[in-house]
């Protein structure tokens, strides 16, 4: 993510208010229905609710995945074994990919 512009610090927690996503400091993101895109009012409201859930849970999910990787690493005491497991295990590939994506490094 080096060299990319990062988003402003989140003023959350965020709250859905119909098609609007509001932060505690009154920042507003609007999910507008659009006939051109096929998004109706119900979908715009659902989009706003989804954005709220994603934003409010993002940091906790990243921290939980990082902690899970730390715990699993302890199970593999040898760094060489851990590197192989981390980079080649089918069980860990989605965890590593999700963390990279969440951190903007995908």
pLDDT, tens digit (0-9, with 9 covering 90-100), for 9-24 = 666 677 777 877 877 7
Instruction: Please check whether residue 2 lies inside any domain of the structure.
Output: no
Tell me the pLDDT tens digit for each residue of 72-101.
888 877 778 888 888 888 888 888 888 888
Contacts of residue 77, defined as CB under 8 A and 6 or more positions apart, other chains included, come to none
Return the pLDDT at 14: 79
Instruction: Please check whether residue 9 lies inside any domain of the structure.
Output: no
Instruction: Please check whether residue 68 lies inside any domain of the structure.
Output: yes
State the pLDDT confidence band at 2, using cuts at 50, 70 and 90.
Answer: very low
Instruction: Say if residue 13 is preceded by a cis peptide, omega within 30 of 0.
Output: yes
Angle 41-75/93-102 helices, nearest 10 degrees? 120
Instruction: Please check whether residue 21 lies inside any domain of the structure.
Output: yes
Instruction: Please check whether residue 30 lies inside any domain of the structure.
Output: yes
Instruction: Please check whether residue 8 lies inside any domain of the structure.
Output: no
The answer to whether 44 and 31 are in contact (CB under 8 A) is: yes
Instruction: Please check whether residue 84 lies inside any domain of the structure.
Output: yes
Return the pLDDT at 63: 92
Return the pLDDT at 39: 72
Domain count within the chain: 1
Q: In terms of pLDDT, which residue wins out, 42 or 77?
A: 42
Q: Which domain holds residue 63?
A: 14-102
- The owner of tokens 């006939």 is 35
Instruction: Please check whether residue 1 lies inside any domain of the structure.
Output: no
């Amino acid at each position: 993510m080096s060299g990319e512009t990062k988003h402003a610090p989140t003023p959350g927690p965020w709250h859905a208010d119909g098609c609007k996503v509001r932060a505690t400091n009154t920042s507003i993101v609007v999910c507008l229905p659009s006939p051109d895109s096929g998004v109706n009012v119900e979908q715009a409201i659902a989009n706003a609710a989804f954005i709220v859930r994603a934003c409010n849970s993002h940091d906790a999910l990243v921290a939980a995945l990082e902690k899970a990787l730390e715990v699993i690493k302890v199970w593999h005491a040898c760094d060489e074994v851990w590197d192989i497991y981390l980079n080649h295990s089918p069980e860990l590939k989605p965890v590593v990919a999700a963390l990279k994506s969440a951190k903007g490094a995908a």
